[in-house]
Structure 1
Amino acid sequence: MTAEGHLGRLRPAAARLARFTGRTLRGEWHAIVVDPVRQLARRGLSGLLLAFVAAFGVIFFHDIAQHPTGAVWVTRLGGVKADLPLWLSLLRTPVSLYVPALDLPVWAGITQLFLAFALAELTLGRSRTLAISYATTLAGTLVARAMIAAGPGWWGFGLPAECGHVLDTGPSAAVVGLFTYLSVVRRAPVVFVLTGGSMVWESIAVPNLAGREHLIAVGSAVVLGLLHGRRERLRTLARSLLPTRAPRPALPETTEGPTIPTAPTAPTAPTAPTAPTAPTVPVR
């Protein structure tokens, strides 16, 4: 076959690919940029409440940690480590979202933090944004504890015990989880590649505790995104899996109730005979 024949066969496929790419990018642009901007124009700055709180919270704890006494209190309130008791780690996890990580620049991550919470709040709402950010952070913390408890080995799953002394703080897991959840729910492959793909590359290039937790955050966000909108199906599935009790046999219904003895009635007195009425005489 000549080169012109090959080109003739490749042109329709290339045209279909170009149309598919254009539709995907246009849909992602509307889902990630246009719709949130419309929500912002309708709701105003109140639609960015979580974004402002998250950004100012990180700045606040960063400034406090610059002083020795403040650093001690920041560690007591939001310092999470794998060697701490589980109840204490769970108690400090919400505050740890606002405590900056030690090995990451604070001001470089503020923009990503603000953008992630802003897009999520405008698209998903405040309650779901808080739920996804906390769930992905908690998943990373708990699975990291399981990795350290497993120890080295386990086909690369386990981590050495020294990782249990590393301070595990920062909103990066929540940011990655929110971006990943948005990309799955809103069908945004470009955002998914930029967030999830970058986390995979980070975990390969720098295999540390933070990289593992970011991968866990991505995985948990993907699962939560796939379960979005399937609440009724999950309820039906859960009901079908639960053991059902056999119905009790119904008791036979009685048509007649129990007879109650009645008091004997007194004999009735005989009625007196009535006197005959006089015949009426016609009046002339």
Structure 2
Amino acid sequence: MSRIARAVLHEWRNVVVDPCRRLRERGPLGVSLAVVACVAVIGLHEFQQTAAGAGVVRVLSEVRADQPVWLSLLRTPVSVFVPAVDLSAWGGLPRLFLAFALAELLFGRVRTLVVAYAVTLAGTLGARVMIALGPDRLGLPAETAHTVDTGASAAIVGLFAYTSVALRSPLLFLAAVVPTVSGSIAEPNLAGREHLVAVTVALILGVVLHRRGGGPGGGRGGGRREVARCQCPLPVSKAVDREVGHGREAGRGRELGRGGS
């Protein structure tokens, strides 16, 4: 079998076979976080279309760079599940479900939420830094600070990037991350820059958390574990030393007796 065929087979097992096996073992609860995320996006989107809901959603989730940092930190968790007003919420649901479901099955709910929030928050804070730098220093223009930053796109591309590094799956990275990165480079707006920051942070997290080759599920006992060996000698009691000494003397005596006979 060629090297390319082995790589494809290895990635097929990691990205498709292993998650399907875990889904069969855990049942629908294995992707409960992904289902909740999709329901939250649909519910908030429909609630946002009403007159009363638009104001409530804006107060709970509207994140802009001209806001105080503490207010953005409070609204960021909700903003992940609020799609942009000018975009269709249904178009991104398959990618949202696949990203959250794959990460949930392989790494657990807690790590999935931590990675999704970390990359989203990194993109939000990175946008503030780029606006402060200005367009002359490869940043963003000042008027970008008034742009509303919502949506789960940073969390989605971040989870795909993290999963690609953790599983060592270049094909998944090419299919799920590279198109977003290419679009972000081609159109360097606020969302594009946040996507680049999210991917960078996700790659760093994947390398740091999986650099020892523990594999997915290491935090939940699913990966391989290396047994730590003690590198320093343990102290031996004097009684044991005396017994060992007597045993050595007896052994020498038996050897001498055999030689004399």
Q: Which amino acid aligns with 2:88?
A: P
CA drift at 1:230: 5.0
CA drift at 1:200: 2.2
Aligned twin of 1:82: 65
Aligned twin of 2:227: none
Q: Structure 1 residue aligned with 2:104, among 96, 102, 121?
A: 121
Residues 101-250 of structure 1 aligned to structure 2 (within 5 Å): 101-154=84-137, 156=138, 158-229=139-210
Q: Which amino acid aligns with 1:209?
A: L
Deviation string for 1:221-277 (max 9, x for gaps)?
A: 00000001458xxxxxxxxxxxxxxxxxxxxxxxxxxxxxxxxxxxxxxxxxxxxxx
The whole-number CA distance in structure 2 between the counterparts of 1:198 and 1:103 is 21
Aligned twin of 1:28: 11
Q: Give unmatched runs, 5+ long, in structure 2.
A: 213-261
Deviation string for 1:192-246 (max 9, x for gaps)?
A: 1123311221113222110111111111000000001458xxxxxxxxxxxxxxx
CA drift at 1:84: 0.6
Secondary structure of the structure 1 residue equivalent to 2:168: coil
Between Structure 1 and Structure 2, how many residues are aligned?
A: 212
Q: Which amino acid aligns with 2:177?
A: G
The whole-number CA distance in structure 2 between the counterparts of 1:131 and 1:198 is 24
Q: Which has the larger radius of gyration?
A: 1
Secondary structure of the structure 2 residue equivalent to 1:107: coil
Secondary structure of the structure 1 residue equivalent to 2:177: helix
Q: Which amino acid aligns with 1:207?
A: P
Secondary structure of the structure 2 residue equivalent to 1:82: coil
Q: TM-score, normalised by structure 1?
A: 0.72
Aligned twin of 1:234: none
Secondary structure of the structure 2 residue equivalent to 1:114: helix
Q: Which amino acid aligns with 2:90?
A: W
Secondary structure of the structure 2 residue equivalent to 1:101: coil
The whole-number CA distance in structure 1 between the counterparts of 2:102 and 2:177 is 17
The whole-number CA distance in structure 2 between the counterparts of 1:74 and 1:175 is 21
| Identity between Structure 1 and Structure 2 (%) | 55
Q: 2:166, 2:210 within 8 Å by CA — same for their partners in 1?
A: no
Q: Which amino acid aligns with 1:121?
A: E
CA drift at 1:21: 1.1
Deviation string for 1:88-139 (max 9, x for gaps)?
A: 0000000001110234321110111011110000001011001100000000
Q: Which amino acid aligns with 2:39?
A: F
Secondary structure of the structure 2 residue equivalent to 1:37: helix
Deviation string for 1:66-101 (max 9, x for gaps)?
A: 012211110100111111100000000000011102
Q: 2:123, 2:195 within 8 Å by CA — same for their partners in 1?
A: yes
Aligned twin of 1:243: none
Q: Which amino acid aligns with 1:123?
A: L
Q: Which amino acid aligns with 1:118?
A: A
The whole-number CA distance in structure 2 between the counterparts of 1:164 and 1:103 is 18
RMSD: 1.3
The whole-number CA distance in structure 2 between the counterparts of 1:229 and 1:115 is 21
The whole-number CA distance in structure 1 between the counterparts of 2:8 and 2:84 is 34
Q: TM-score, normalised by structure 2?
A: 0.79
Q: Give unmatched runs, 5+ long, in structure 1.
A: 1-17, 232-284
Secondary structure of the structure 1 residue equivalent to 2:85: coil
